Amino acid sequence: MSGTATSAPRASDSAVPLGKGYMGVGYVQDSKDFKADTRQLRLDPEPGAGALANPVGIDVSNWQGGINWSSVRGAGVEFAWMKATEGTTYKDPSFSANYLNAYKAGVVRGAYHFARPDVSGGAAQANFFASNGGAWSRDNLTLPGVLDIEGSCYGKTPAAMQSWILDFYTTYKARTGRDMVIYTSASWWNSCTGGWTGMSARSPLWVAHWTSAAGPTIPRGFPYWTVWQYTSTGSVSGISGNVDRDRFSGDRSRLLALANNTP
């Protein structure tokens, strides 16, 4: 799997089949440089030295199978987000076990929702997410929910996509009291929202850019990144096969501030 942050999003008729979404699936399919990047990404590159002191994380779904979260935490992983829902009907079958066992292992964890703007409005999906794993509590181990939005523009204009995202955000915040995190790539955001600036003051950015460069390319409309997914081919004790690897932009105190909604 590979991709570039400058790839154009897929056409609306190329949407991922319902229930099959996971973080990075759109990034993969957006890529125009699949063959060129594959060799680099198999090296499981670490980001630049300036980010190496920051907390490391992963993101997972049922595609990873069973996970030994004690081994994951022992390998130095401090945070994780896991798929909870997709659209208005799909619940990830591994979510409950992952969410509980990560918590027991001391991994600061949260849930993510794979957006499907083609099946309903944003408010309906935010409600489904909040009711099925996307809730939040100030317990030092729970991160705010994530809207994973990538791949297709789902036939929407940039203005319509902006409205969909804002509806999701407004509903999620009303349900949980938290600003959601947005996971996306520069290519998707620039193309499908027109480089919208309207979420930069509301939602922390989790950017997908699989590279060994010192930092990621971020979407227009965001001044900086909070989380960086830098490879899809990571290796972590306790997980069989590849897993996405992530870096947090601040130190552990800032990670806990995000978890607990404190300054």
44 catalytically annotated: no
Between helix 158-176 and helix 122-131 the angle, nearest 10°, is 30
Given 30, 86, 92, 148, the catalytic residue? 148
46 catalytically annotated: no
Pairing relation of β-strands 146-148 and 227-234?
unpaired
Asked if 6 contacts 217 with a C-beta cutoff of 8 angstroms, the reply is yes
Given 59, 86, 244, 246, the catalytic residue? 59
Could you give the count of Cα atoms lying within 13 Å of 156 in the half-sphere of its Cβ? 27
Given 30, 78, 86, 150, the catalytic residue? 150
How far is 177 from 262, CA to CA, in rounded Å?
A: 13
| Helix ranges restricted to H, the chain | 25-30, 34-41, 69-74, 95-104, 122-131, 158-176, 186-192, 252-260
How many Å is the Cα radius of gyration of the chain?
A: 17
What is the set of active-site residues?
A: 59, 148, 150
